[in-house]
Amino acid sequence: MQDKSISQAVIGRLPRYYRYLGDLKDEGVERISSKELSILMKVTASQIRQDFNNFGGFGQQGYGYNVSYLYEEIGKILGLNEDHHLIIIGAGNLGRALTNYSNFGNRGFIFEGIFDKSSELIGKKVGLLTVKPMEELEAFIEEHSIDIVVIAIPKTGAVSVADRVVKCGIKAIWNFAHVDLLVPPDVVVENVHLSDSLMKLSYMLTVR
């Protein structure tokens, strides 16, 4: 599907394209030119064409892009054509919020389990799931073919949990703990550092 190393800048823009194309599709728009899309998304038409051409030509000269087709193709590039099986480590507020984020399910992200070390939480229901003890982690990953682990615990425990799941063969971690995880080069980590994000906002507010 894709060739040699697409830049992070391009990858970071794909989900936004996907969202706009999904909206257009829902509105019944059949075709769109890079120029029209550029106005809608407030980027240059040049960038749009360059980005898409990283993955081969999706358009047609003189016509533009077919919205449905482009939407599907970008979905495939993002790996949304196949299901992903996730577990969440940490049944605190954040872990529970993520579990109930049902939208993810529509896109093939299926939450299979939630774990916590606290005996007060183990056995409690979170949406459709029941909080399991950390001892069962490895067996569960194996048994349910988990491919993405969500880390939603404080940073003190995050590093050792990451080590544990990497040892089980997990190759993708969605990390909400405020720490940089050290993983082998074949494991990918996507960080969501909420306090970093809030600090950036604070900076921008301060400068103005």
Partner DNA sequence: TAGATTGTTAATCGATTAACAATC
| Residue range at the interface with a second copy (CB under 8 A); choices 63-71, 95-103, 110-118, 135-143 | 95-103
What are the CA-CA distances from residue 69 to residues 21, 30, 132, 156 (Å)?
10, 9, 41, 45
Q: Does 109 bind a second copy (CB under 8 A)?
A: yes
Q: Nearest distance from residue 64's CB to a second copy, in Å?
A: 22
Rounded Cα distance, 121 and 126, in Å: 10
Nearby residues of 46 by Cβ (< 8 Å), 6 or more positions away = 34
Confirm if 32 and 80 have CB atoms less than 8 A apart. no
- List the alpha helices (DSSP H) in the chain: 8-26, 34-41, 45-53, 67-77, 93-99, 103-106, 137-143, 155-167, 194-207
Confirm if 15 and 79 have CB atoms less than 8 A apart. no
Q: Nearest distance from residue 63's CB to a second copy, in Å?
A: 27
Closer residue to a second copy in complex, CB, 9/62: 9
Q: Nearest distance from residue 197's CB to a second copy, in Å?
A: 6
174 interface partner picked from DNA, a second copy, none, CB below 5 to 8 A per type: a second copy
Closer residue to a second copy in complex, CB, 122/179: 179
Q: Nearest distance from residue 62's CB to a second copy, in Å?
A: 30
> Out of 7, 60, 100, 130, which residue is the one contacting a second copy (CB under 8 A)?
100
Residues that bind DNA (CB under 7 A): 7-10, 33-35, 43-47, 49-50, 52-53, 57-65
Q: Nearest distance from residue 173's CB to a second copy, in Å?
A: 8
61 interface partner picked from a second copy, DNA, none, CB below 5 to 8 A per type: DNA
Q: Which residue has the tokens 């880390």?
A: 151
